[in-house]
């Protein structure tokens, strides 16, 4: 999966330079301590049309949602396993002639554009937004952040009113039970479901 992440980062760099759009690489890939299951943190200064072209230029996503706390971040998941936390910047104090940045975006004065995130998100209903937590839980657990992975899984359990909750000692059975109960009540697009099942198989 890590090769796909590196391929995605090369795509981001090419898009930024070709289209003269400022993009910052963040998180574990900027720090150099990413795992094969790490998501890619990106911050982008783009208007809506460019942002859509940027998201879909790599591949058709199998899942897109936006965060509510904090607002201004789009979650994009691709079929090849690449998961992106895309922070959308509305304005930033930057005069750099470079467009692909590897320094911390938080070193700049900037604000997010949360309204674009809501427009691009494929659905805003609670069940759809909760579904993203399956992938988040799994990649955090597989990346070695087991306590966080379990905590995220139990956010789904609370939404589903499911008892008993997921435990670290029985995580695989717990997350499997969660996804089965979710599918009994709510739709889940097949490519996204298959990716989650593939990750469960990696446990």
Counting residues of the chain whose pLDDT is more than 90, the rounded percentage is 67
* Helix locations, the chain, DSSP H: 2-19, 27-31, 48-58, 114-120, 126-142, 146-160, 171-185, 190-201
Instruction: Quick: pLDDT tens for 67-112.
Output: 887 888 999 999 999 999 999 999 998 877 789 999 888 888 888 9
* Its pTM surpasses 0.85: yes
Sequence-distant (6+) residues with CB within 8 A of 177 are: 162
Residue 166 pLDDT > 70, yes or no?
Answer: yes
Domain boundaries, the chain: 2-120, 126-201
Sequence-distant (6+) residues with CB within 8 A of 122 are: 63, 64, 65, 128
User: Which class is 2-120 in CATH?
Assistant: alpha beta
pLDDT value of position 41: 95
pLDDT value of position 88: 94
Counting residues of the chain whose pLDDT is more than 70, the rounded percentage is 99
């Amino acid at each position: 999966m890590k090769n796909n992440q590196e391929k995605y980062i090369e795509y981001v760099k090419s898009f930024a330079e070709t289209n003269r759009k400022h993009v910052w690489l963040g998180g574990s890939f900027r720090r150099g301590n990413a795992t094969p299951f790490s998501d890619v943190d990106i911050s982008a200064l783009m208007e809506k049309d460019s942002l859509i072209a940027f998201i879909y230029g790599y591949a058709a996503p199998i899942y897109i949602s936006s965060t509510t706390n904090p607002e201004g971040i789009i979650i994009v998941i691709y079929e090849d396993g690449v998961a992106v936390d895309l922070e959308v910047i509305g304005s930033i104090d930057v005069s750099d002639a470079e467009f692909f940045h590897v320094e911390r975006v938080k070193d700049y004065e900037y604000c997010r554009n949360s309204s674009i995130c809501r427009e691009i998100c494929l659905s805003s209903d609670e069940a759809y937004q909760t579904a993203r937590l399956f992938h988040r839980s799994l990649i955090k657990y597989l990346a070695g952040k087991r306590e966080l992975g379990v905590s995220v899984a139990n956010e789904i359990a609370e939404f589903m009113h499911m008892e008993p909750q997921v435990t670290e000692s029985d995580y695989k059975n717990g997350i499997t039970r969660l996804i089965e109960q979710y599918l009994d009540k709510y739709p889940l697009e097949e490519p996204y479901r298959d990716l989650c099942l593939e990750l469960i198989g990696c446990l």
